Amino acid sequence: MKIIMIGQAAEHEDELRSGLDSPHPIVSWPRETANSASHDAEIEPDDVVITLRWFREDRDVPPFRLLHVPGAGLDGVDLAALHPETMVANVFEHEIPIAEFVLARLLEWEIRAATMQAAFTSADWPEQYRHRTPHGEIHGKTLGIIGYGRIGRAIAARAAVFGVQVAAVDDFAIPDDVAELLPTESLPELLARSDYVVVACPLTPETTGLIDAAALATMPSHAVLVNISRAPIINEDALYAALREKRIGGAILDVWYRYPTTSDDVVAPATQPFWDLPNAWCTPHSSAWTHQLPHRRYAVIADNINRLVAGQPPRNLVRARSAR
């Protein structure tokens, strides 16, 4: 068995090796090979492929043992293009940094400590002290979460500690003592009562464009929309118009509508220039990108490979091997 690491996954070979119980050949392929058949002849039935994306237009992919996505989202994988005998697994571990990111952004949205620090000077200290500008607080606000899975729960738990009231919409989540859980049909109600709304559901045909112009129109004029899931869940043009016209308070955007597909691809993150709007805080899909995350994720992936070698099923199995 060899392990094939494609694109960004190949940057984490050391983390993977440190968790393997026995040595295996590891090969690195460029990101482009996830979308072409250029290396298919090198794939053998017992191999493990680690990649965030997997598309094959000709749908004539040889069988291999396991496709392991080094993340949770499966919107970059064309499951129909995989051989029925290929298993698929994913990995989480990103809920911790994403939850910290969301709380940090919301706290900064209210407090504006960076702005206060940048304006501080010793020469103006007396006047600055006498004319301090009041800032906000998140205590007592309402946070609406769309999707109450691992990420949604991690955000809710941390927000509740700050005295935030949490409500979530999700048709499949298990209720807990942290958030008020509502069915998805109650989304308009959730949007109308929330000071902050976090999009934390997966991208599916059902959730694509879920937040459209009509949904944005139900939000209070001061409300802040946070997207750390997938950009197309929010209609791009509708969101830009709502922000530009200040029909909502703002948006915190860490995920985008377009990504580079090759190592030298130059592409704008969106058609609309959100980054030019003062009420849009834009970051480059970095909410989960901590020093610690790859160690946790590739420890899970290594454990799954160890389990395969031992004849045990992998954890986080999304698709089992088809019975023939």
> What range defines the domain where residue 86 resides?
3-93+292-319
Q: Following DSSP, what letter does each residue of 170-194 receive, concatenated?
A: -SSPPP-SSSEEE-GGGHHHHHHH-
* pLDDT value of position 32: 86
* pLDDT value of position 40: 87
287 occurs within a structural domain = no
Residues 133, 241, single domain; the answer is yes
Spell out, as residue ranges, where the chain has pLDDT lower than 50.
none
* pLDDT value of position 56: 67
Residues contacting residue 98 through CB under 8 Å, at least 6 positions apart: 151, 154, 155, 228, 287, 288
Residue 66, domain CATH: 3.40.50.720
Q: How far is CA 36 from CA 11, 40, 41, 48, 179, in A?
A: 20, 8, 11, 17, 44
CA distance 296 to 19: 10
Residues 212, 165, single domain; the answer is yes
* pLDDT value of position 58: 60
207 occurs within a structural domain = yes
Residues 135, 193, single domain; the answer is yes
Residues 16, 57, single domain; the answer is yes
DSSP state of 236: H
Residues 38, 105, single domain; the answer is no
324 occurs within a structural domain = no
> Domain total for the chain?
2
Strand partners, 6: 29
DSSP state of 163: T
Residues 75, 144, single domain; the answer is no
Whole-structure pTM value: 0.88
Residues 27, 75, single domain; the answer is yes
Active-site residues: which are they?
A: 285
Which of 31, 47, 29 has its CA nearest to residue 39? Answer: 29
DSSP state of 150: H
* pLDDT value of position 59: 57
